[in-house]
Every structure is written in C-alpha cells, then in structure tokens.
Structure 1
Amino acid sequence: MRDINKTDLEIPDFALVVLIGSTGSGKSTFAARHFLPTEIVSSDRCRELVCDDETNQDVSADAFELMRDIIGKRLKHRKLAVVDATNVRAADRKASIELARRWHALPVAIVLDPGVDVCVARNAKRPDRPFGAGVAQRMTMEIRKGLGGLQREGFRQVWKLGSEASIDAANVSRQPLWTDKRHDAGPFDIIGDVHGCAEELQVLLGKLGYSLTWSGHRGERSVVVSPPEGRKAVFVGDLVDRGPNTPDVLRIAMSMVAAGTAYCVQGNHERKLGRWLEGRKVVIAHGLQQTIDQLETQDRGLKEALPAFVDSLRSHVWLDGGRLAVAHAGLKEDMVGRGSGAVREFALYGETTGEIDEFG
C-alpha cells in the first residue's frame, strides 16, 4: 500500500489504471485532470454509446462489455488505459486484472475516498442522481472493507487519496518501465552466457576494445572497466555457475552495470542463485554448488552487494528506439516492453511444458 498521505503518484507509463470510488467521489473529474480523453474508458460514456443515455442501468452489461473491448484494444497496442467506473467490489475489478494479465500491463489502483458526506453532498446537486445517501454510504463501506486486499487481487501499485484535499493536490507522473531503455541507441556488444569463465570474459572484452583495471588481491578485488567510445555491453544472463571463477565474472558485470557501461538481464541461473541467497529451498545442481563454494572465499563486500544485484535484474531490455530487445531465453513480440510474471518466465525459460526435470 502506498503512503495514504502521498499526493505524488508515480505510475508506469504503460499500465491499466483502475479508479476506485463511490458515486460522487470525483473519479471522472480526477481522470479528466490527469489523463488524456483517449486514455479514459468510462462506464457512463459506454452506456451513452450503447443507448444514448449514460444513466440507463439496464444496458450496463453491454456497456461493460464495450469497456472491456476498448481497454483490450488499447493494451494490445501498448497504450495506457484508465477504467473510470466505481469498481467497488473485487468482482467488479476482476475483469480489469484479467485484461492486464492478458496484455502484460501493470495493474494500478487509485482509490478516491473524499468521505461519505462529500459524496452525498455532490450527488444531491446532480439531478441525474436522485438516490439518497445510502448508496454512497454502502459503496464507501465496501471500498474501505476491500482496501487491504487490493494487492492480493493482483494490483502492482495501490494509491489511496483519503481526503478531498489530497485528491485536489494529487499529481500523477509517469515513469518508463525498468525494461524500457529505448532512449539508448548503442552501439551494443551483446554477450551470451559467461557461466563463471572470468578469464575468457576478459579476453573477449579486450578484443572488443574494453580495458579492465583491477585493484586489491584475490578475494577482495575490484575492477573498473572502460568501454570503447560510445559502446555498451549487454549481458544476456547466466553469468554464474559451472565455471572456475564466478566471483570475478560478477565483479566485472556488477561494476559495469553500476557505471552505466552495461546492461544485464536475468538468466535462469541468476534466478536460482537469488532464491538460494534468500534462503529458499532449491536443488543444488547445474553448477550452483561451484558458485556457492567460490563465494564462500570472497570478501564481505561482494557477498553483501550480490543479493541486491541479482534482485535488480529484469526480464529483458528494450533498446534502440524499440528496434532491439534482449532476453535470456527468448521473448514473444507481444511481450516486448511489457511487465508481468508471464513475461519474466518466458524470458527465462522460453516455451515450456510445465513439466519439471530431475534438476527442478
């Protein structure tokens, strides 16, 4: 849950934003203030499109079917969409979560709760809302009851604006997904699975024009890597396991990523190492034991920095104005530049059957 008092809402620039609020909470006003008209998919507007009357509840089923169709088309084309409806109950939000998953968009909930009295007073001023205070009271109670479960429903971000003042003061900004590096045009040197072969990696980098400067002694070494002018390396994962010197491979990659001279995506071996570092149960195979043994002899600095580095690795990087995507195992076209569990799994393992081999 995001800070209830925070009014600076930083959302992904590709997302499905679900507004949650009682009738009279100001959802449509909020949407119009912070999003483009083409981004907003309103239940009232869809009722109007269906039957020329936005208040006609008899056509709600068709109106919501139209909403889902429009949202799906926007997400298909990697366009942000905003669901402007009350979205009071988990059942009302389920279709939005399913659409976000289908198109690998991050689902974001923005809860507007200015208070029941505010909602009732606003509704009383609108002739198209002849119902009494009970509707707003019931909706607000439902929203507050379900607030704690929004992340379990699948929302990756949950923002709550809990007063009229915070709603008025809110500012929505958009951030590129961590995979989105389209601004970087390279040129790039794409380096495949290194698997602990530090000596060979250094030879390869040298042939590509990179220079490496080591300091310290074995076990407590550090390295600075200077790239050729304008070039950048992209490591395709599986830095670790099997080879004789995984620690130095990690030092090189970590140093380059920290300096901004390389990108690195996650491989299935980094995924498994990360799970082991978290203390989770994993099958020690496929070279992981060599990595564990080699890390035991290293300085505390490397071992302390390693969990955060492994955790920071993303499914893929999207580069060069969208013309290049780099992932470990592969990526479908409709997954590029998007974020979901399915994208991560495909990037790590490709098309799988779901079966598990003797190595887990």
Structure 2
Amino acid sequence: MPSISIPNNTLLVLSGPPGCGKSTFALSHFEETAVVSSDRCRLLVSDDETNISASKEAFKLFRSLIEYRLALGRLTVADSTALTRRARSELLAIGRKYKFHVALLIFNTPEPVCLECNAGRQRQVPRKVIGAMSRQLGRTLQTAEEEGFNQVLTLSWEDLQDPDFKVDIRSFEVTYPGPFDLIGDLHGCYDELIMLLGKLGYLRRFGRFFHPAGRRIVFLGDLTDRGPHSLKCFWLVKAMVDAGSALYVPGNHCRKLARFLEGRNIKVAHGLEKTVAEIKELPEDERRHLKENFLSLYRQAPPYLVLDNGKLVVSHGGITEEMIGKVTERVKNFCFFGDTTGEVTDEGLPVRRDWAGDYSGDALVVYGHTPVPEAVFVNNTIDIDQGCVLGGKLTALRYPEMAVVQVPALAAYYERAGFNSEAVETGEDRSKYEEQPYHSI
C-alpha cells in the first residue's frame, strides 16, 4: 500500500505547481485546521484568493499562522507552491525555530496533467506560469535533499490517484499494556541476542521471532557497531518490528549509521567502521536494499516510547520527567546521548550528569546507552546496558514482572576505557547457552 509516514511533531511543507493536487491531498488526509494555505490567506486579507497584489500581506499571515500552531505544538501542513529555495528555507527556519520535524513533500506531477487540472478549475492560473513552475519543480527535485529538511518525500500523480494511499502520523505514545521484554544495546551481538530470545521463551516462525503468550520485545537502540554481526542484528529487529512482535527506539549509533547511509560527511569511528566493513562486503543491490530498509526503520522510530498508558517510558539514553510528552531538539538529543555536559573525560568519553539520581516521576524509565556492570533500579529508572559488546552481559527487563534476564557475552568484541568485564569471566557459565539453540517451529 502506498503511504508516507511522519511524526506528529511535523511541519509538512507541500511543494508543487498549480494543478498538481496539493490542496486536494492536504484536505483529504489532514484536519482542515491543520492546513495553512497561502491561497486561503490571500482570500482572508483581500476577499479574493486570486489577488496577487495582496501576496505580501497574505504570506505574512501565512507564516504567522504556521508559527502560532508550532508554538502550541500542533502538526501543521504548509500549503503553498514552495518551488523556490528561498520560500522553502523560510519555512524550514520556522520549523527549526520551534524544534519541529520539518518534512518536504514534493508533488511530482507532469506539466500536461497540471494544465489539464488547471483548465477544470474555477480559478485558473496562466499556462505560462504553470510552465515556469514546472521547470522550478525539476530544480527542486534535484536540490531538495541538500537543503536540510529532516525528511524529503516525493509523490507521483499515480500515488495521488491510488484510493488506498494513506498518511501515517506516528506518535511516541503507544497504548499497549504489555507485557514487554525490553532489551538493551545490541551493538552487533547477534549470537547473544539469539540466546536471550531463547531464554525469554521466544519462538521462530518463517524467520521471525514471536512469543506464544503475546509478549513484545522493545529494543532500546544501538543495534549496530562494535560487535561482529551488526547487519544480522538489524535484519532480525526489522523483521520483528514489521511483524508487530517488537517495538524500537533509535540510539546514537543508529543515528550515526543513518547519517552515513544518507551520504553525510561523518567520521567513521567508534565502532561504525565495523558496520561499514560489513556493508562494503555486500553486492551493490543488497547495499541499496539495506540502506532503504535501515533508513525506513530509523526515520519511522520515535525518540522515545510511552507505554502501558504512561506507566512505562523507554528511551535509549534516558529522559527526564518534564520531557515526557514533548518532542523538541533538546529532548531528542537527550534521548540519544543522555544528559551530557559537553566535556570529555581523560579517556575521551563524554561527561554526563546523573539525571536518574534526580528523577522523581511516576513512570518507570528504562534506558541504556551508558554501560554499567549491573542493572539496578534507581528512583524508578533502570539502565539495562550491561556492556555485552565489551564482554559484559546482554540484558532484558521483563515488564510488568520487573525481572532481569541476562546472558553473558561470548567474547569481548570491543575495548572501552572505564569498563571492567572481569565479572563475566568468573560469572555465569556460558557453555550452556552455546549448546542450547533457540526453539524453532
């Protein structure tokens, strides 16, 4: 089914020539109050939406209405042609000002179709204007990916005619009551993940894991990097999410891999080099397939999840009580990196504040990101990253039972200053897990 997916804190910028189907699309898929139309603003200020001489005042109103909605945290659709870089950059700046996810939706409708649709409208735009704007559309398609939008989407005329086309608006609030099995940072530890799923009672059917009692896994991000099987971890998680047997929030390593796959100029280090090496071993068509699927999973994931009607909150790096229910750039960064000070230790690690020590919220916050030797409850929070990739343990927290389930690492795949994995060497016997396969039906 053709569809687009955007988070609920989105400024959606529509872009396309007159007659391309923008306004009809907007009113078909969004509440009328969510759509801010430049034509409607021209009508409001001058009683005539064709009054081009009123455009200056109309666009002041257009931008002001968008700002008012974003200030109140409301999803907003900006309906104008937005075919010049300047027009798009102005809207992008407004979205960034309010820390919104800014998505550009380009209507790639052929010029003859625009002309035909325009001829059937009561208010017709001159043919030469549509021709000029169709040429601008071509330039927009070439440059939009480089303009800084969080998301660039393109719709064809065929997409618009599909009666099954839908817009998925994602929320970070999920009403599932559970039960859940929350699993900390994987970092490519695929064998340990298989062991843990077996210990938790998950079965495998047609290559996908599920629990016979209907439990769901919640993955806390950082699926890849540092460990030996990053791509296998990703594909397992993607299959479970697609099947509805798992939920996922992204981690900072997920963010970095996404940026690498998008072609951004980033430093390939801190374990990403291992994932990149795996990717380079793939044939070109498989690399393309991986890129599409990873970016799809990452872009559709919320920065955190509110589960069990607000009783449980899941984030990769943590979240404070006052942040729950909000999605701003500060909140997203906190979810990725925790409460960092901007300083680094002598070992080159970021200095983090002890946000959990000050937490007093009613919701249980489960997080990872910072490896600690044991999973311990602190002020209704728990860090379930026990450094599996560093030679520690892979941890699951069973909810609502509050039981910690772990398997030991089969090896220390990556060295990191400040983490001691000696306890693993003298701890639980690993061999029983190596000899015990998961159940398959």
2:334 counterpart residue number? 346
Over 3 Å counting, the alpha-carbon distance change for 1:146 and 1:246 in structure 2 is: closer
Deviates more, 1:116-125 or 1:323-332: 116-125
Over 3 Å counting, the alpha-carbon distance change for 1:57 and 1:241 in structure 2 is: closer
Deviation at residue 42 of structure 1 after TM alignment: 0.8
Over 3 Å counting, the alpha-carbon distance change for 1:241 and 1:139 in structure 2 is: closer
Over 3 Å counting, the alpha-carbon distance change for 1:183 and 1:134 in structure 2 is: same
Do structure 1's residue 185 and structure 2's residue 177 form an aligned pair? yes
Identity of aligned residues (%): 32
2:27 counterpart residue number? 32
CA distance in 2, matches of 1:276, 1:141: 31
Deviation at residue 174 of structure 1 after TM alignment: 1.9
2:107 counterpart residue number? 111
CA distance in 1, matches of 2:27, 2:225: 52
Over 3 Å counting, the alpha-carbon distance change for 1:49 and 1:355 in structure 2 is: farther
Do structure 1's residue 138 and structure 2's residue 169 form an aligned pair? no
1:90 maps to a residue whose letter is R
* Bigger relative contact order (CA 8 A; separation at least 6): 1
Deviation at residue 113 of structure 1 after TM alignment: 3.0
Over 3 Å counting, the alpha-carbon distance change for 1:51 and 1:239 in structure 2 is: closer
Could you tell me which of 2, 24, 27 is aligned with 1:8?
2
CA distance in 1, matches of 2:92, 2:128: 28
Over 3 Å counting, the alpha-carbon distance change for 1:79 and 1:322 in structure 2 is: farther
1:330 maps to a residue whose letter is G
Deviates more, 1:329-338 or 1:132-141: 329-338
2:334 maps to a residue whose letter is F
For the 8 Å contact 1:8–1:172, the answer to whether it is kept is: yes
Aligned 1:222-261 pairs, distance under 5 A:
229=213, 231-237=215-221, 258=240
2:177 maps to a residue whose letter is A
Could you tell me which of 141, 151, 155 is aligned with 1:147?
141
1:144 maps to a residue whose letter is G
Could you tell me which of 301, 313, 318 is aligned with 1:330?
318
Over 3 Å counting, the alpha-carbon distance change for 1:329 and 1:44 in structure 2 is: same
1:326 maps to a residue whose letter is V
For the 8 Å contact 2:2–2:165, the answer to whether it is kept is: yes
Could you tell me which of 39, 55, 66 is aligned with 1:60?
55
The one-character-per-residue Cα deviations of 1:56-113 (angstroms, maximum 9, x if unpaired) are 3344333223323333444455544322212121111123323444343250313153
Deviates more, 1:254-263 or 1:91-100: 254-263
Aligned 1:34-53 pairs, distance under 5 A:
34-53=29-48
Count of residue pairs the alignment pairs up: 321
TM-score (ref. length: structure 1): 0.62
CA distance in 2, matches of 1:310, 1:169: 26
SS of residue matched to 2:176: coil
Q: Structure 1 stretches of 5 or more lacking a match?
A: 1-6, 215-221, 297-303
SS of residue matched to 1:346: helix
CA distance in 1, matches of 2:3, 2:223: 36
CA distance in 2, matches of 1:100, 1:267: 23
1:23 counterpart residue number? 18
Aligned 1:88-99 pairs, distance under 5 A:
88-99=83-94
TM-score (ref. length: structure 2): 0.52
SS of residue matched to 2:107: strand
Q: CA RMSD in A?
A: 5.5
Deviates more, 1:22-31 or 1:45-54: 22-31
